[in-house]
Homo-oligomer: A and B are copies of this chain.
Amino acid sequence: MNDQVYLSFDALHHLVSAALSGGGLSARHADAVARVIVKAERDQCRSHGLYRIAGVLKTLQGGVAEAEAVPEISHSDDKPIIKVNARGGFSPLAFECGAPLLAEKAGRFGIAAMAINDCVHFSALWPEVEQLAEAGVAALAMCPSNAYVAPAGGIRKLLGTNPLAFAWPCTGGLPYVFDFATSVAARGEVELHRLDNTPLPQGWAIDAEGRPTTDPAAALDGALLTFGAHKGSAVATMIELLAGVLIGDLLSIESSALDNGRLLAPRHGELLIAFAPDAFGAASPAAHTQKLLAEFTAQGARLPSQRRYAARAQSLSRGIGISRENLAKLQQMSSGLMPTELH
């Protein structure tokens, strides 16, 4: 399309980073947040792409995120636990600061964990677990969010949309990666139904009185439901316990109380666990993995990251497409003009 321009990863990263710096983020945070946004655009995951820029800067201007926060890492050399205190900054820089040490500890101990505390959470989790898999370790990541979700059998908000992500390294190929919300749908999808004035599918939500509803406005006043009924509810609760209570950080209800209805990016923690196949006695993990995953293809089942990887291959061959309108906005923002919505 004539309206699109195609940029390399680095060129778009430079533009987005400059726009975030123009909006007040420190250079290191702008660099890290921009990397996540451009990875999402590259993989055509628009829900975590350019359109998030306005939200990042709104959260910054709302005084929720620290623009200059320098993450602080603490760990003991003889222990496989890393704590990264994000000191109120956005999560991507905290992750990037701790990730190499997490991979190193997993390699040395067989299993290792990293808690990110006191961050303003921004980003899907797949770029994080994928980066760890590229460093040769399997990784699991989870975090609370704001309380938008009712537990199974419940009648009001308690749990977050609590994402769970996992990556498994595949020698010589792209890792096996999944990343999903433990709610049946993302809050953003309910918002889209409200804007489009279309009813929700059955089973997505309850209203403020705890009754099933297909009305998106009533759902936003009420609560989303978890995926897979009581099983998804159990997983979401586990995430509150491990990535909230265990790491000494906020539950989703506590993040929401702090947010106080402003719907800015939530402030809470995150837990990552990394595993080194060597330490557990994996025998020919590459061939063994292939034996499992090849069977998905053989029976026509899509692997969770297949769509993203196809989009990525296209982006790498022709560039990442963005509209001329978004390009102009990014250029204006890098000069310090007020952020505008990018679509």
Interface of A with B (CB < 8 Å)?
A: 78-81, 83, 109-113, 115, 117, 138, 140, 150-156, 158, 164, 166, 168, 176, 178, 180, 182, 210, 227-235, 237-238, 240-242, 244-248, 251, 253, 271, 273, 275, 277, 279-283, 285, 288-289, 291-292, 295-296, 299-302, 304
Tell me how far the C-beta of A27 lies from the nearest C-beta in chain B, rounded to whole angstroms: 29
**A277 touching B245 by the CB < 8 A rule?**
yes
> Which of B229, B246, B282 touches A275 (beta carbons < 8 Å)?
B246
Instruction: Tell me the bound Cα distance from A232 to B166 in angstroms.
Output: 13
> Which of B230, B273, B280, B283 touches A81 (beta carbons < 8 Å)?
B280
Instruction: Tell me the bound Cα distance from A229 to B201 in angstroms.
Output: 15
Given contacts A113-B280, A234-B304, A246-B285, 5 further A-B pairs with CB under 8 A are A80-B110, A81-B280, A242-B275, A246-B277, A271-B280
**B241 touching A280 by the CB < 8 A rule?**
no
Instruction: Tell me the bound Cα distance from A251 to B238 in angstroms.
Output: 26
Residues on B with C-beta less than 8 A from A228 are: 227-229, 231-232
**A300 touching B180 by the CB < 8 A rule?**
no
A-B contact pairs, 13 of them (CB 8 A): A79-B279, A81-B110, A81-B111, A83-B280, A150-B301, A151-B301, A154-B300, A155-B301, A168-B245, A246-B277, A246-B285, A251-B288, A273-B273
Known: A156-B299, A238-B166, A241-B168. A280 touches B138 (CB 8 A): no
List of 9 A-B pairs having minimum Cβ-Cβ separation, nearest first: A228-B228, A154-B301, A178-B234, A248-B281, A81-B110, A153-B301, A151-B301, A248-B283, A227-B228
Residues on B with C-beta less than 8 A from A285 are: 245-246
Output the residue of A231, A247, A273, A291 with the most chain B CB within 10 A. Answer: A231
Output the residue of A153, A238, A245 with the most chain B CB within 10 A. Answer: A245
